[in-house]
Amino acid sequence: MECLKLSFAALSLAAVSAFAGPITTVPWNGHPGAASFTFDDGLHSQTNNLTFLDNMPDVTVTFFVCTNTMGFGSNTQPHLNYAKKGHEIGNHTAAHKNLTQNADLNSEISGAASKLRGMGLEATSLATPYCAQNQTVKNAINKEHFISRGCGGSGLTGWDTEPDWMQIDSHYWQQNGSTVSAFKSSADQAASQSKWHVQLNHGVGADWDVISAADIKTLIEYAVSKKLWVASFSTVGAYLRAHFTIDKAAATNTANGFTVKWTSPHAHMPKSVPLRVKIQGAQGKTVSQKGKEVKPNSDGTYTIEFMALELEVSGEALSSSSSKQVKSSSSSVVLSSSSKLAESSSSAPSSSSMQSSSSSETNGIAPRIAFESGAVMVHCQVFDANGQLMMSKNVMAGSASEAWNNVKAGLMNGVYFMRYGKIDGRNTQIIQVRK
C-alpha cells in the first residue's frame, strides 16, 4: 500500500489543475463531418452559375471577394444578393496583392473589412490571395477575423486537435488536373474520419481555374448525400472554434443546479453561433440562457447559443432518498461485491460529509465535500490499483455512491480508487470502490 499512498499523494498535488466541464459539443452539428465550398475573387461567373443553390435551402457557401478589383470590385450587387439568402461574404483583401511581399497589410485587410462593413457585411473570415501567408500576415488577419483560409494540402481539418485558425487548409480545384472523383473522395474522407472538407474554387463555368456548373453541383449534392454538414466557412469554423472553448468551461454549483460561463475565443466571432451540445446533469432540470429556457432536442441534446457566453441548469435537486451516503470511518470504506458502495456499519453519527480513506497525506489537503445541498456536479477520477487513471468525468450526484454509479460504466470488474470533489478542484476525497 505504500506505493499507492505515494502515488496518490503525488496525484493530489495535481488535483487543482483544469478539467473538462459538463458541456460537450456534438461534433459537426450532429453530422458525420462537414464540407464548406468557397469561391474566391468575387467573380460574376459564380453568381451567374450557382443559381441551383436556390433549390438547396440548407446549403450555404462562402464567397471571398476583393473590394477593389475583379467582379465584386466593379459590381457588388450579384454577390450581395447571395448574402441576402444566407451565403457568406468573406474578405479576400482590397486588391488581391501577395500579402507576404511588402503589401500594405492595413489597407489590404482592415481596409477591405471596413469597406465590407460599410455595405452591412461583417466579414468574420478571410482567404489570403495566392494562399500566401507568414506570421506577420497572420497577426494582421487575426486583428480583424477569427479565421483565415489557406490552401495547398488535402483540405481536411479534424475535430479533436485545435488547428491554426489563421491557416485552415483547403483543397484547391484547379482547371487542369482536378477531377470530380478526387473531390468526392475528400467528401468521403470527411464523412468517414469526422473531418471538415474545405474546397477552394474560382470561376464557375467561366473566368479562371474553372469548375463547370455541373461539376460543382455534383460535388455539393454529393456532400449532402454523404450527410455532411454543408455550410459556409465561418459557420463551420465558428462551431469548431466554439467547441474548443465550451468543452473546457467549468461549472459552478448553485443552490439547485449549476452555471457555466465562458469567454468568446475571438473578438470577431459571428454574432450568433448555435451549438449542439450534451449537458451532463441537465436531465430533468431546466436549461436556460440569459433567463430564456432552452428545450432539449428529441435526442436529448441542446442547441444553445454559444455567444450568450453562459448557461444555467436549475431545478429540483435529484432525490437523495435512494442514494446512500458514505459515512466517515477511520478504516477503508467497506465494499460490497455488488456495484453499490456499502455503508460502513460503524458509521459516524449524523455526518453526511465524506472522508478520505486512502492516506493521511490526502486527508491533510482535502477537506470534506458537503453533499447536504443535494445533487451537485462532482468531478470524478477513477484509478486502478496501480494508480493508473482509468476515467475522468463530471457527474451530477447526491452522494459518493451515486457518483460512482454514474462513472463506473465501461470499467472492468475489479477494485478501483475514485477521487472526487467539487469541479473547481477543491474538497477532493479518495475512496476505494469495487465494480
Instruction: Give me the least distance between CB of 103 and Zn ion, in Å please.
Output: 13
List of residues 6+ apart from 270 with CB closer than 8 A: 124, 234, 235, 238, 307
Grid coordinates representing 318 are 435529484
Instruction: Give me the least distance between CB of 92 and Zn ion, in Å please.
Output: 6
- Residue 91 or 280: the one with the smaller Cβ distance to Zn ion is 91
Contacting range for Zn ion; rule: CB under 5 A; set: 40-48, 103-111, 141-149, 424-432? 40-48
- Residue 92 or 276: the one with the smaller Cβ distance to Zn ion is 92
Grid coordinates representing 73 are 470590385
Contacting range for Zn ion; rule: CB under 5 A; set: 38-46, 138-146, 149-157, 242-250? 38-46
For residue 3, the tally of other CB atoms under 10 A from its CB is 10
Amino acid (one-letter) located at 237: G
Return the bridge partners of 68, or none.
none
Grid coordinates representing 75 are 459590381
Instruction: Give me the least distance between CB of 64 and Zn ion, in Å please.
Output: 7
Contacting range for Zn ion; rule: CB under 5 A; set: 97-105, 123-131, 208-216, 350-358? 123-131
Please state, in angstroms and rounded to a whole number, the distance separating the CA atoms of residues 62 and 42: 10
Instruction: Give me the least distance between CB of 163 and Zn ion, in Å please.
Output: 21
- Residue 99 or 187: the one with the smaller Cβ distance to Zn ion is 99
Coil, helix or strand for 2? Answer: helix
Contact between 41 and Zn ion (CB under 5 A)? yes
Contacting range for Zn ion; rule: CB under 5 A; set: 37-45, 229-237, 356-364, 405-413? 37-45
Contact positions with Zn ion (CB under 5 A) in 220-239: none
DSSP string for residues in 66-118: -SSSHHHHH--HHHHHHHHTT-EEEE--SS---TTSS--HIIIIIIHHHHHHH
Contacting range for Zn ion; rule: CB under 5 A; set: 33-41, 210-218, 267-275, 321-329? 33-41
Instruction: Give me the least distance between CB of 200 and Zn ion, in Å please.
Output: 9
Contacting range for Zn ion; rule: CB under 5 A; set: 126-134, 151-159, 210-218, 287-295? 126-134
Contacting range for Zn ion; rule: CB under 5 A; set: 21-29, 54-62, 129-137, 377-385? 129-137
Instruction: Give me the least distance between CB of 41 and Zn ion, in Å please.
Output: 5
Contact between 108 and Zn ion (CB under 5 A)? no
- Residue 128 or 232: the one with the smaller Cβ distance to Zn ion is 128
Counting residues that bind Zn ion (by CB under 5 A) gives: 3
Pick the closest to residue 275 from 254, 249, 251 (CA basis): 249
Residue 57, CB half-sphere, CA atoms under 13 Å: how many?
0
Query: Are the CB atoms for 227 and 73 separated by under 8 Å?
Result: no
54-83 exposure pattern, b = at least 16 Cβ within 10 A, e = fewer: eeeeebbbbbbbbbbbbbbbeebebbbebb
Instruction: Give me the least distance between CB of 315 and Zn ion, in Å please.
Output: 52
Instruction: Give me the least distance between CB of 205 and Zn ion, in Å please.
Output: 18
Contact positions with Zn ion (CB under 5 A) in 319-348: none
- Residue 69 or 347: the one with the smaller Cβ distance to Zn ion is 69
Coil, helix or strand for 416? Answer: strand
Instruction: Give me the least distance between CB of 40 and Zn ion, in Å please.
Output: 4
Contact between 40 and Zn ion (CB under 5 A)? yes
Pick the closest to residue 205 from 215, 195, 196 (CA basis): 215
Return the bridge partners of 433, or none.
416
Closest residue to Zn ion using C-beta atoms = 40
Q: Which residues bind Zn ion (CB under 5 A)?
A: 40-41, 129
